[in-house]
Amino acid sequence: MTEATTIPNPLLEFSASGVHFEDEADLRNAVAAWLRKHEGLRSSGLTESAYEELIFPVDRPAWRRGAADSMYSCALRFRAALYHLGVRHPLIACPYEARPQMAVADLATVARHYKALYEGLAASTREPREGDALCSIGGAGPHVSCVVSAIWDTGPDGKPALVLGCVDGGGGHKGDMSVGANMYLWQGGAIRDVEPPRSLKSPGARRPLRWTIDLWAIVVGAGLLDSDPNTNA
């Protein structure tokens, strides 16, 4: 996707006052659609402002401008999704300036608080769904992926396999940060890259999962289905 002014501002769908859902499928589909609109956002150029507002919703403009080009957005994007849904746990509601480089650890702490965290063996048996977050471990360390689709297909061994469409963050080719799409083969306690030129027949290296976060469990645990999200912690 090019840097075009037609890229929607992802903040239009959700607001800091929170969005209430009664149906799990509706919530997951809405969050997945919201996450997809992040693809193509960059920390520079025409999408600079939208990127900063998304990733650092409560930080000072001067600080987030300096941080946007230097901080990977993979975990920050799921953190932002929770904030815009109305989750007001202290680690989500506080400016990221107060906790730089702590997004991955903070997400695990928040999910654990709401009984939404699957770690170790639990992460290997719980199938990810739209809106969930995965933390995998690769050569560069932990990486968080936001799931936007989960479809069963035929794996490299001819058996059924779960293919995950994800929105990931990383370094851009212009020395800035960007948001892009990726596809993974989920194999219990690990994922493997199947984004072209990779395929289900020749997936990338195995990346163990550290944890999976259940988005719906956080929404339920935070009381967003039947109360004012601004009062939740």
- Our count of domains for the chain comes to 1
In the predicted model, what is the mean pLDDT of residues 68-89?
Answer: 88
List, for residues 150-191, the tens digit of each pLDDT value. 999 988 888 889 999 998 876 655 556 767 788 999 998 999
Average pLDDT along the chain: 83
Give the model's pLDDT for residue 201.
86
Reported pTM: 0.86
- Is residue 6 included in any domain, yes or no? no
β-bridge pairing 117-119 and 141-154: unpaired
Burial class (CB in 10 A: 0-12, 13-18, 19+), 11: middle
HEC secondary structure over 212-226: EECHHHHHHHCCCCC
- Is residue 185 included in any domain, yes or no? yes
- Is residue 114 included in any domain, yes or no? yes
- Is residue 14 included in any domain, yes or no? no
- Is residue 152 included in any domain, yes or no? yes
Instruction: Spell out the residues 6+ positions from residue 2 whose beta carbon is closer than 8 angstroms to its own.
Output: 40
Give the model's pLDDT for residue 200.
86
Position of tokens 């402002």? 49
d(CA 64, CA 52): 6
List, for residues 36-78, the tens digit of each pLDDT value. 887 777 787 778 888 888 889 999 999 988 888 888 788 998 9
d(CA 168, CA 145): 5
The H or E element spanning position 48 is helix 48-55
List, for residues 184-221, the tens digit of each pLDDT value. 999 989 999 998 878 888 899 999 999 999 999 999 99
- Is residue 97 included in any domain, yes or no? yes
Domain that holds residue 144: 21-231
- Is residue 7 included in any domain, yes or no? no
Nearest to 56 by CA among 92, 3, 22: 92
